[in-house]
Homo-oligomer: A and B are copies of this chain.
Amino acid sequence: MSQSSAPISQAPVNLLHKATLIDQPWSPRVVAQMNQYQFKVVRIEGEFIWHEHPETDEAFLVLEGILRIDLPEGCVLLGPGELYVVPRGVRHRTAAEGQAKLMMIEPQGILNTGHEGGERTAPNDVWI
């Protein structure tokens, strides 16, 4: 995993404000770091691709809108202020009717598409 190029911010981070600064959906941006874990904000619209992270759990917190997480056994719906942890190795697909803004927490170096790769893989470790 690469070292981040940006320092840890010492000012409070307004998560929703940070999410509004991102110019396109499905482009996670790092806003803070805790040990080797990064806090990322992202705007999403429509459906992502199915993928998994064999090496780590992944946490999602909704900031605005409704997040649907499709899982092998069904889906969960999260509104603002709701948290969900996708266990490591569990295939999942995030989606939103309209638009949603999220915070994700995962170890530094984890790609948004897991091991699937492809055109929807976003640049990693980009701070905003």
**Which residues on A are within 8 Å of B, measured CB to CB?**
8, 10-16, 31-35, 37, 39, 56-59, 61, 63, 76-78, 81-85, 87-88, 103, 105-107
Name the distance in Å between A35's Cβ and chain B's nearest Cβ. 5
The reply to whether B58 and A34 contact each other, CB–CB distance below 8 Å, is: yes
- Measured between beta carbons, the chain B residues less than 8 angstroms from A82 are 12-15
C-alpha gap A32/B39 in the complex (Å): 16
CA distance A8 to B87 in the complex (A): 9
> Which residue of B is nearest A41, CB measured?
B83
Interface centre among A13, A56, A77 (most CB of B within 10 A): A13
Given contacts A39-B59, A59-B39, A105-B105, contact A84 B34 (CB under 8 A): no
